[in-house]
Amino acid sequence: MTPPPRNPRQPQRGQSGRGQSQRAQGERAQGQRGQGQRGQGQRGQGQRAQGQRPAQRPTRPAQRPPQRPTRPRRPARPPRALRLGHLHPRLRFGFGVIGVALLIIGGRLVQLQGLDHGAYTNAAAEQRVDTITLHALRGQIVDRNGTPLAYTSQAQDITADPTLISADDKPLYAEALAPLIGRSAATIEQDLEQTGRYVLLAQAVDPVSARKITDLLAAKQWGGIYTQATTQRQYPGQTTAANVIGTVHSDGTGAAGIEQQFNDVLAGKDGSETYTVDNLGNMNPNSETVTNAAQNGATVALTLDQQLQYTTQQLLDQTVKSSGARGAQAAVLDAHTGQVLALAASGTFNAADPNTIDPDKSINPTVMTAFEPGSVQKAITFAAAIQEGKLKPTDTFQVPYKQRFGGVEISDAWWHPTLPFTATGVLAESSNVGTLQIAQRVAPKTWFGYEQKFGVGQKTGIELPGESAGYLPPFDTWSGSSYANLPFGQGESMTVLQLASIYQTFANDGVRIPPRIVSSVTAADGSTTRTAQPKGVQVVSAQTAKTVRTMLESVVMAGGTGVHAAVPGYRVAGKTGTAQQPDPNNGGKYSNWMNWDTFAGMLPADDPQVVIAIMVDNPAHGKEGGDVAAPLFNQIASYVVQHDHIPPTGSTGTHVPLEDCAVHEVRIASPSTVC
């Protein structure tokens, strides 16, 4: 069988093929190309390179090795450019959150370490130390003689912890404590039934009662009841001068009167005591204690006389009761200094018990409540006319019962025929018509100027809160009828203190000294500051003031309206007043039966020492100033001259005719009293 012919390109068997191998290695060194047929071609080339010719053999069909299926070549990728900072959105968000957190933490560290370092240091120090307040004692209020009107004393609050008292013992506790703290056993038991751990059973118990309570607890071996140190404001006189002294709030601060006006002075300045404590709050006995002593409040000395104030209040209360009036007020001044010796009102509250204050009434009506003065104000009109050289006490006027002024008809308070009154008679018998005739001699604006000089419509500057200025209509607002009622005290208003100040001007030879009620302030260290004397205002001359005083004496003499004000053995100068009150039930028109009754005067008239002004609010049955206020003046003045040891001058008052008896000899009253 003849073998198939050999492929001439196929190498013969038995040949080492070394050349082919070297060639193949050389070609691989240049980079082999992975084609399957390349090896066969290289072999053929290798044999030819050796000059050997293949033998003639029978050939057989050449068999090619199976070819691998070729994969399509991938397209070449473009080279990627390196892009810095190109992050996935989630990474960006994460880095942002971390950055914000770090920023917050860093800022907080800056705050703690830098800005708030001192605060935290102090807070840490506060945890190691404790500070207690050393309360200052509130200062005293005393009268002109040093008599205490208000002072602060030590006291004890009584408290309870109901959880430490058994249910069976609570009724026993209540029964035993009731008489000691001034409460009913039932209310105490109700407090002990509360669920909390703190109940205030009594506030500011006096030391004696507090000691009895602690002795009781010790004897019965009771627990759950405690005492706590505190202070209590004491008012020995209770109602005496309460309108002036005022009262305090529950926290001890001033609520009215001097207590309010001088609160900063009276309160003093609290101190402190600082010491180191352990983690349980117990004081470290080895620590250093730092003490800032409390500065107790100052003592405020008033010009008031406590005994005179008490007596005046008693007399006012009696007058209100006997006359059926709504109330009454009085002011007593030193004639030469303007110092207030008494400033009283009826029905005054108890300073120790603020619950007695009537919310519908003024705390201190003597400076807060204004009223129309009525005829008591006529003295200003007479003083203006005399000072201007327009009037003499003996000048005669034909005075009818009624007459028209400024377009309105003015009448006297009582009917009379036309009478030849002297100027003194007009004042003594309080003729409205005669007063307006005298006022016509003074220009309205000039008269208005005198009103202002006497302090009408102006605050006195007294050291008390809530003072009213009263009312004087501004001159440019006057109507045609204004000068037909103002000269006899209608259409204007004032307080009883302002009224007293007007008459102090006449008593002090025409020099008005604004009234004052505080004489000095003494600090806790003993240093004393005296109240500066206000500068006096020369309103009228000394001669004019003396002339008016002489005319005012006729008011209290026979024939005058104020005879009930006379004090035996003393010369008294003063003036009555009866002012109509507006009637709210009649459209605000002046009432025919509701009055403000007044009297203001001084004694001794020839050497005045004290000035007294009085107002009685709406006495029953339409009583007038001469019926109610004048007798009250007599009572207060009689006490003052005895209490202050004011002797009579021994002189006799000068009688000035009230009428020109040569012209008119027939009169209802006895001629001996008026001629």
Q: How far apart are CA 379 and CA 447, in angstroms?
A: 12
The answer to whether residues 671 and 633 touch, using CB atoms and an 8 Å cutoff, is: no
Residue with tokens 């002795």: 215
Angle CA(458)–CA(405)–CA(587) in degrees, nearest 5? 65
The answer to whether residues 423 and 431 touch, using CB atoms and an 8 Å cutoff, is: no
Buried b (16+ CB within 10 A) or exposed e, 396-411: bbebeeebebeeeebe
Residues 6+ apart with CB under 8 A from 6: 12, 54, 55, 57, 58, 59, 60
Q: How far apart are CA 330 and CA 341, in angstroms?
A: 11
Q: Which of 176, 148, 149 is nearest to 160 (CA)?
A: 176
Q: Give the chain's length.
A: 675
The answer to whether residues 638 and 608 touch, using CB atoms and an 8 Å cutoff, is: no
Q: How far apart are CA 615 and CA 311, in angstroms?
A: 16
The neighbouring-strand residues paired with 580 are 595
Q: How far apart are CA 22 and CA 4, in angstroms?
A: 30
Residues 6+ apart with CB under 8 A from 241: 143, 149, 302, 304, 306, 309, 310, 343, 344
Q: Single out the catalytic residue among 323, 375, 493, 501.
A: 375
Dmax over Cα atoms in the chain, in whole Å? 206
Active site residue 479: no
**Number of H-type helices and E-type strands within the chain:** 20, 21
The answer to whether residues 349 and 242 touch, using CB atoms and an 8 Å cutoff, is: yes
| Type of residue at 62 | A
Q: For residue 331, report the phi and psi dihedrals to the nearest 5 degrees.
A: -135, 135
| Type of residue at 139 | G
The answer to whether residues 386 and 547 touch, using CB atoms and an 8 Å cutoff, is: yes
Q: For residue 103, report the phi and psi dihedrals to the nearest 5 degrees.
A: -65, -40
The answer to whether residues 150 and 237 touch, using CB atoms and an 8 Å cutoff, is: no
Q: How far apart are CA 9 and CA 496, in angstroms?
A: 154
Q: Which of 361, 363, 343, 357 is nearest to 460 (CA)?
A: 343
Q: For residue 284, report the phi and psi dihedrals to the nearest 5 degrees.
A: -85, 115
Q: How far apart are CA 406 and CA 194, in angstroms?
A: 74
Q: For residue 160, report the phi and psi dihedrals to the nearest 5 degrees.
A: -145, 150
The answer to whether residues 555 and 575 touch, using CB atoms and an 8 Å cutoff, is: yes
Q: How far apart are CA 566 and CA 653, in angstroms?
A: 12
Three-state secondary structure of 80-101: CCCCCCCCCHHHHHHHHHHHHH
Q: Give the number of other CB atoms < 10 A from CB of residue 258.
A: 25
Strands of 129-195 (E only): list them: 129-134, 141-142, 148-160
Dihedral (Cα; 407, 408, 412, 413), 10-degree rounding: -170
Catalytic residues: 375
